[in-house]
A and B are shown apart, each in its own frame.
Chain A
């Protein structure tokens, strides 16, 4: 997959060494780099600075009300029970959510890949719809489905004589309920990624295996999955990051309730920053989350074996 130096045609090598073109690549890169600096790097640096201050709404109004307080925000953060509860919730979401999203997306993609008929193409669009539906609409519909009194889910349960469940009111069940919506929303995009990877697998490999007598399970585990390593790796990395930043679903469905049971770390930061106006404190938390995400991603990159084994 990766291009090695020897693969580059000699003519290109030559051109690359011409010094007069030295500034050109940077010129092409500069718009993207400027945007990245302005909206990626700079905010992080500002947040890092703010995290050492007690910036709140008073400080926003008048800069002279802002005090430099060193690492106080961080020490408070690490003794804040609400912060640890949010960390715990996020850990649960990551541990259960990542495998479920990858497993479900992969399974659906494998099934969708069985045929190219019109019906299967329709199904592909069908599975993609959640990914492009506005979160507010999603929240409204799921809120009604989950409703304890007149929700569809409890109605279906009542048909088989199961007493109503408190989908969004029971602290344990609410975690599952918001995660389910997130899984439902996230699978669409990942299915498309997996499908693309599946369709990139040369048919000769599968046909050769079939001739050698490999059954379909063997073909999936010995040929298809290994050849999809990169797609699976990509989906894993982005899914882990998105679960670490889990925000939309609990925000719109439960606002982090009941009793903080669905407050993820991002939601905790939002509530501290924009409900309690503790911007310094929220910035400190966001820096901690930032470091966690970087570490998690680096670990995954490290664990990944080279791609060109096959």
Chain B
């Protein structure tokens, strides 16, 4: 507990003050150092690997790269303070769900007139789900694709085989059927795992059931048949006791011990499984998402943008250009297992050598980004998981809970 009076008041006020002060000062600068180095914000724990990757750029252009690793958990605070103070990096890695927030704050430099000189950054080089118009905000190109991430079905082939299933479920019906059989293995055994904090899963399932999260006018609207089908599946898995109900369930442990032999997750899960249980090699695999109307999945990942008042625009563009190169993108995949967004890198046979990666790449072809709404994760995603969890965990009335959720999120405009 905090004893300081105004522990909440103070930071808000300080931010407001900082914004007021910088509004008075000149708008130039950025945090770039005098020596000519450009500052890059890299999210998560891949900062060190990025320094190695950027060494090639420094060799080629003579511009030093100063990498700052920003933990995902600090991202929002970091962005808010740098917007308030007016001093950001030169280049920033932007998670796709954060892009509209940054655009809303006018934190990114519009790139439309600048990309002409850099053919490697042309929209046609990148996966369609994130290229060009797909991630434009208000008709402006504010970022270029960098790494890709998606959602696939992970399953324990040995556990499924024991229960009499030779192949992973390919449809929603098969998913429920397989999960039911697996949950019947005994007490404390489940068929499937739903991460209660993951708001992308219900959105992906809504898409797969032919629904959408956005109406024809470009406003958030979940009130459609596909969404209802998703809710049926989601609540059904809980109602039949096929998934664990505790929110602190460890998905890696659940998968490794076989308690939850199936779940939908991203390639990062594969890495965690390999690290946690190398002895399971060959007893699990990734499969495409089970299909309803289709098997649309999520195109997550990150773009790269240039901070609005960077004084090193040319050097920054050159870095984006360098990073868009298929060889560099594949090199990055080797370093940290983040998938490329460059089409020819994605088509490279080196990626297809690993059957799991082949599944990721195939899934990316039919994957979509979440609607580009500012604060998507907090303003929509969290409310979506809250509504679903209220129904399945506390027995809240389905219709009234969903109606309240629709009322809360309806009309939020996609940028």
Q: How far is the CA of A225 from the CA of B348 in the complex (A)?
A: 78
CB-CB under 8 A from A269, the residues of chain B are 8
- Stretch from A37-45, A192-200, A216-224 contacting the other chain: A37-45
- Stretch from A10-18, A67-75, A106-114, A246-254 contacting the other chain: A246-254
Q: Is the CB of B7 within 8 A of A245?
A: yes
- Identify the closest chain B residue to A59 (Cβ): B19
Q: How far is the CA of A207 from the CA of B8 in the complex (A)?
A: 49
- Identify the closest chain A residue to B84 (Cβ): A60
Q: Is the CB of B3 within 8 A of A169?
A: no
Once A57-B105, A61-B107, A259-B390 are accepted as A-B contacts, the answer to whether A46 and B5 lie under 8 Å apart by CB is no
CB-CB under 8 A from B6, the residues of chain A are 40, 43-44, 47, 286, 290
CB-CB under 8 A from A274, the residues of chain B are 11, 76-77, 80
Q: How far is the CA of A30 from the CA of B190 in the complex (A)?
A: 66
Q: How far is the CA of A168 from the CA of B197 in the complex (A)?
A: 14
Q: Is the CB of B1 within 8 A of A46?
A: no
Quick check: is B106 within 8 A (CB to CB) of the other chain?
yes
The interface bits of chain B over 92-107 (1 if a CB of A lies within 8 angstroms of the residue's CB, else 0) are 0000000001001111
Quick check: is B49 within 8 A (CB to CB) of the other chain?
no
Q: How far is the CA of A273 from the CA of B10 in the complex (A)?
A: 12
Quick check: is A58 within 8 A (CB to CB) of the other chain?
yes
CB-CB under 8 A from B249, the residues of chain A are 148-149
Quick check: is A89 within 8 A (CB to CB) of the other chain?
no
In B137-180, the 8 Å CB interface with A consists of: none
Q: Is the CB of A149 within 8 A of B13?
A: no
Quick check: is B58 within 8 A (CB to CB) of the other chain?
no
- What is the total number of residues of chain B having a CB less than 8 Å from a CB of chain A? 49
Q: Is the CB of A247 within 8 A of B2?
A: yes
In A258-280, the 8 Å CB interface with B consists of: 258-260, 266, 269-271, 273-277, 279
Q: Name the contact of A60 in the complex, choosing from B15, B76, B247, B389 (C-beta under 8 A).
A: B15
Q: How far is the CA of A273 from the CA of B12 in the complex (A)?
A: 7
CB-CB under 8 A from B9, the residues of chain A are 43-44, 47, 283, 286-287, 290
Quick check: is A88 within 8 A (CB to CB) of the other chain?
no
Quick check: is B246 within 8 A (CB to CB) of the other chain?
yes
Q: How far is the CA of A169 from the CA of B104 in the complex (A)?
A: 35
Please report whether the interface of chain B is mostly helix, strand, loop or mixed according to DSSP: helix
CB-CB under 8 A from B8, the residues of chain A are 245, 247, 266, 269-270, 273, 282, 286, 289
Quick check: is B336 within 8 A (CB to CB) of the other chain?
no
Q: How far is the CA of A66 from the CA of B394 in the complex (A)?
A: 40
Quick check: is B20 within 8 A (CB to CB) of the other chain?
yes
Q: Name the contact of B389 in the complex, choosing from A243, A258, A276, A283 (C-beta under 8 A).
A: A258
CB-CB under 8 A from B247, the residues of chain A are 166, 168-169, 257-258
CB-CB under 8 A from B378, the residues of chain A are 271, 275-276
In the complex, the number of residue pairs spanning A and B with C-beta atoms less than 8 Å apart equals: 159
- Identify the closest chain A residue to B102 (Cβ): A57
CB-CB under 8 A from A147, the residues of chain B are 248, 250
In A177-206, the 8 Å CB interface with B consists of: 182, 185-186
Q: Name the contact of B248 in the complex, choosing from A146, A182, A282, A283 (C-beta under 8 A).
A: A146
CB-CB under 8 A from B374, the residues of chain A are 57
Q: Is the CB of B13 within 8 A of A50?
A: yes
CB-CB under 8 A from A286, the residues of chain B are 6, 8-9, 12
- Identify the closest chain A residue to B24 (Cβ): A63
Q: How far is the CA of A18 from the CA of B135 in the complex (A)?
A: 74
Once A166-B245, A273-B8 are accepted as A-B contacts, the answer to whether A279 and B2 lie under 8 Å apart by CB is no
Quick check: is B317 within 8 A (CB to CB) of the other chain?
no
Quick check: is B277 within 8 A (CB to CB) of the other chain?
no
Once A44-B9, A275-B375 are accepted as A-B contacts, the answer to whether A62 and B393 lie under 8 Å apart by CB is no
Residue ranges of A at the interface with B (Cβ–Cβ < 8 Å)? 39-40, 42-44, 46-47, 50, 55, 57-63, 143, 146-150, 166, 168-169, 171, 182, 185-186, 238, 241-243, 245-249, 257-260, 266, 269-271, 273-277, 279, 282-283, 286-287, 289-290, 293
Given contacts A60-B80, A62-B23, 12 further A-B contacts (CB under 8 A): A42-B17, A50-B16, A148-B246, A148-B249, A149-B248, A242-B1, A245-B1, A245-B2, A245-B7, A249-B1, A258-B389, A293-B5
Q: List 26 A-B contacts (CB under 8 A).
A: A40-B6, A43-B10, A43-B13, A44-B13, A50-B12, A57-B83, A60-B15, A60-B16, A60-B19, A60-B83, A63-B19, A63-B23, A147-B248, A149-B246, A168-B247, A169-B248, A245-B4, A247-B2, A247-B8, A259-B386, A259-B389, A273-B11, A274-B76, A283-B16, A287-B9, A289-B8
Residue ranges of B at the interface with A (Cβ–Cβ < 8 Å)? 1-17, 19-20, 23, 76-77, 79-80, 83-84, 101, 104-107, 196, 245-250, 253-254, 374-375, 378-379, 386, 389-390, 393-394
